[in-house]
Amino acid sequence: MKADSTKAQILDAAIDLFWKDGYHATNMNALSDAAGMNKATVYQHFRSKEAIAIAAVGRALERTEGYVFTDSFAQQVDPLDRLAAIYQRIYESHTALYRTEGMLRGCPFVNIGLELSLSSDGVRGAVQHAFAVFEDYYRTIVTDLADDGRLLHDLPATELARDLQDNMNATLTASKILQDPEAIARGAARARRYLVGGETPR
């Protein structure tokens, strides 16, 4: 249990630093300091910085799936309400960081994926897996909308789910580039229009 707790401490520090400062800008001294332990202890649990990055993506997936997707599905029944809740949770968490730090960080998965996609098969694979997990939730939303006759498209649910994940990636990238939390709200409206058309409720 102690080892698991120490690993979680390291990974939580890594998620925060990689997300905020980037993988390459984060050295092992900064990471061990943020984790509250010496560098030797970090290396006892992870053989390399890349190994930490791969595991950190996995832990970020667990945290994101739980807070953003699982909780949204548990609290909402209607598929459009579930979609809105997903974006609302992301909007609220990113806006809170923006108020605290004065900056928007974008998507942690996109950020590290872009940094390491050409140099780390492990990180690229971990990010791809995270996207696939998120797409499963979007696929459920699409299927439920098709079942009740509200879906605009007759494309395969898998393709539409990938479109929704791509929209989220673009939305969080835009929010970072523009430094505008409202880009997330606009992304939510765009996702709803794509699925069912019409005006988005304010």
Model confidence pLDDT, tens digit, residues 15-53: 999 999 999 999 999 999 999 999 999 999 999 999 999
Encode pLDDT of 63-79 as tens digits: 999 999 999 999 999 99
With respect to residue 37, please indicate whether it lies within any of the assigned structural domains.
no
Number of domains in the chain: 1
pLDDT for 9 beyond 70: yes
- Residue 71, CA distances (Å) to 9, 161, 177, 182 in order: 23, 19, 28, 22
Single pTM value for the model? 0.94
Report if residue 178 sits inside a domain: yes
Query: What pLDDT was estimated at residue 3?
Result: 74
Residue 87 sits in a domain whose CATH number is: 1.10.357.10
List pLDDT tens digits, range 126-181.
999 999 999 999 999 999 999 999 999 999 999 999 999 999 999 999 999 999 99
Any domain includes 45: no
**202: confidence class by pLDDT, cuts 50, 70, 90:** very low
Let me know if residue 163 belongs to a domain.
Answer: yes
**Which residues constitute the domain of residue 123?**
53-196
With bands split at pLDDT 50, 70 and 90, how would you rate the model's confidence at 199? low
The pLDDT tens digits of the residues spanning 96-139 come to: 999 999 999 999 999 999 999 999 999 999 999 999 999 999 99
Instruction: Kindly state whether residue 125 falls inside one of the protein's structural domains.
Output: yes
Place 200 in a pLDDT band, splitting at 50, 70 and 90. Answer: low
The residue-averaged pLDDT of 175-190 equals 98
Give a yes or no: residue 127 inside a domain. Answer: yes
Residue 135 maps to a domain: yes
Residue 43 domain-assigned? no
